[in-house]
Amino acid sequence: MTTMSTTSACALAAALVLPAAAAAQEPVAPIEIYTTTESYDPIRYEGAFIIQEAWEELGLDVTVTPTEFSTLLDRFYSEQDFDATILGWSGRVDRLDPQFFLGTLDSRQAEPGANNPGGYDNPEYDALFDAQSREFDIETRRDIVHEMQELYMPDVPVVVLFHRDEVVAYNNTAFTNMNAMAGEGLYSEWGPMEAQPVGDRATLRIGGPQEPDNINPLNSTSVWGWKWMRLYYDRLVRLSPEVEPVDWAATDVTAEDDTTIVVTLREGMTFHDGAPVRAEDVAFTFRYYMDSSYSYFDSYLEPIDTVEVTGDHEITFNLTEPSASFATITLSQIPILPEHVWSEIEDPQELSPDEIPTVGSGPFAFDRYDRGEFMSISTNPDHFHADEIAVDGVEFLIYADAEGVFTALDTGEVDMTAWRMEPGQIPLAEDNEDLTVVSVPDFGYFHFTFNLRREPFDDRAVRRALTMAMDRERMVNVLLEGRGEVGTSVIAPVNEYWHNPFVERFEFDMEAARAELEGAGFTWNAEGRIVAP
């Protein structure tokens, strides 16, 4: 007895039973998947084609469009001009608190430039987001965070493709005491402050394939911008490698009550141009961010009602409601800006590259940025932490691709990698006695984001079906050579306390994908193309 494939059977059934008008319907419009270029990240590039292959088998017309990284970020964040996009959220240490990743699905962060470019809108989810934000009891907050993951997963507004291990390396003949942080690898804000030179050269040289999208603290939306800027801007609080808040520009943070936070500013600090760091600068900074159209920090700033200078070195934050992550996260992420510089700038988003101020008060001072080639900062001898820093500066060398970075590391041109090595490079690094390879888990993730404002992704059944048609196991096993794990929710399994392991999972299953579409009224035409109800 001969058998017929499911796709052929569906097409035949559609041709036999559909009315003539329905049978003549146009198939679902072509879909474009944006991803990074192969030279920038071959994993995301190849992953896009794995998805394309399965979706075309399902009956869709799919194009993969590799795009230069900065251009892709603009299209995704600022323009929101995409059907679907493969990008990633890095596992910066502040994101071990669930606030940031949960906020990427908050409908109030769906405006251009904010962190929910896909446009997911679920009032019940938003209400729970607010509830966990103001819940101080950690166990109650965890229950809410778990409920949020259960709630959004069946809607699949975004697919966590995988969590990729952070495998990096450094030259042990040049520097020691190079400590990797989970999610951040070697290129953390503590790395340059802890590194110890082995020889005479004390300038730490970092190699990476990606430069900042820009170095405007009121416009940057990439981790590459902030990894660099946080070295020369101070924050009130820094997070330790153990994710504990460490008083930094603040010497004390006190909650007078649930909505009143009083901060005492460290005395004697100066900006890199010699001006003193005042309580007025701190208050100005927070107001300036709150009044700007820059949306990147909106979820952190949302609880603030007013900021007042209440003493020579005292700032009081009055919150609209309790905020569980305010002292730990908000105060650790907002860079202190000099009022005498930024108060003269009416629209910071309109600054040209040569107009962007680079005056901070941090442990390093900005020196130079040659776009596409080189960046440098020098150790600030007047900083209160200067005596703890052994390097005299940091240089960042920008390469066209990951292969260029590895070659530079292998030949001693750079001392460490800012970006994870490709699977094929790892054994080569392990065979080089001058290199120390370090692997840490990542609580960030690579994601496939649907634009829910566009057909067919505004249909929940379509998103569910297309998620079932993503072979993520293949991506991890083949592309990553097993150095990672398939994703589930936006809170990674390694972030065990906040991760909910009992959410709905979408295994790779083409038959289940077809069944999901059929159940929602989709059919296939004679050519095997999907036709909407």
> Are both 221 and 304 inside the same structural domain?
no
CATH number at residue 415: 3.40.190.10
For the stretch 270-290, pLDDT in tens is: 999 999 999 999 999 999 999
Task: Give domain status of residue 203, yes or no.
Answer: yes
Task: Give domain status of residue 366, yes or no.
Answer: yes
**Confidence (pLDDT) at 24:** 56
485 close to 493: Cβ distance less than 8 angstroms: yes
For the stretch 359-407, pLDDT in tens is: 999 999 999 999 999 999 999 999 999 999 999 999 999 999 989 999 9
> Are both 10 and 145 inside the same structural domain?
yes
| Structural domain boundaries enclosing 241 | 237-342
> Are both 179 and 249 inside the same structural domain?
no
For 279, half-sphere exposure in the C-beta direction (CA atoms, 13 angstrom radius) is 17
> Are both 58 and 148 inside the same structural domain?
yes
Q: Reduce the DSSP state of residue 78 to 3 states and report it.
A: helix
pTM for the whole structure = 0.78
**Confidence (pLDDT) at 25:** 79
Of the candidates 95, 110, 88, which has an alpha carbon nearest to the alpha carbon of residue 298? 110
Q: How confident is the model at residue 307 (pLDDT cuts 50, 70, 90)?
A: very high
The number of beta carbons lying within 10 Å of the beta carbon of residue 137 is 9
What does the alpha-carbon distance between residue 442 and residue 180 come to, in Å, rounded to a whole number? 11
CATH number at residue 330: 3.90.76.10
> Are both 115 and 187 inside the same structural domain?
no
Task: Give domain status of residue 1, yes or no.
Answer: no
196 close to 390: Cβ distance less than 8 angstroms: yes
> Are both 462 and 387 inside the same structural domain?
no
> Are both 11 and 144 inside the same structural domain?
yes
| 64-73: average pLDDT | 95
Split into its structural domains, the chain has a count of: 3
- Helix/strand/coil (H, E, C) string of 372-419? CCEEEEEECCCCCCHHHCCCCEEEEEECCCHHHHHHHHHHCCCCEECC
Task: Give domain status of residue 207, yes or no.
Answer: yes
Of the candidates 186, 189, 165, 188, which has an alpha carbon nearest to the alpha carbon of residue 176? 186
Secondary structure (DSSP) of 111-135: STTSS-TT----HHHHHHHHHHHT-
For the stretch 309-357, pLDDT in tens is: 999 999 999 999 999 889 888 999 999 999 999 999 999 999 999 999 9
Q: What is the mean pLDDT of the chain?
A: 92
Q: Reduce the DSSP state of residue 498 to 3 states and report it.
A: coil
> Are both 456 and 498 inside the same structural domain?
yes
Q: How confident is the model at residue 14 (pLDDT cuts 50, 70, 90)?
A: very low
Task: Give domain status of residue 434, yes or no.
Answer: yes
Task: Give domain status of residue 83, yes or no.
Answer: yes
For the stretch 101-131, pLDDT in tens is: 999 999 999 999 899 999 999 999 999 999 9
For the stretch 129-188, pLDDT in tens is: 999 998 988 899 999 999 999 999 999 999 999 999 889 999 999 999 999 887 788 999
36 close to 66: Cβ distance less than 8 angstroms: yes
For the stretch 17-45, pLDDT in tens is: 444 444 457 899 999 999 999 988 999 99
What does the alpha-carbon distance between residue 211 and residue 398 come to, in Å, rounded to a whole number? 6
For the stretch 410-423, pLDDT in tens is: 999 999 999 889 98
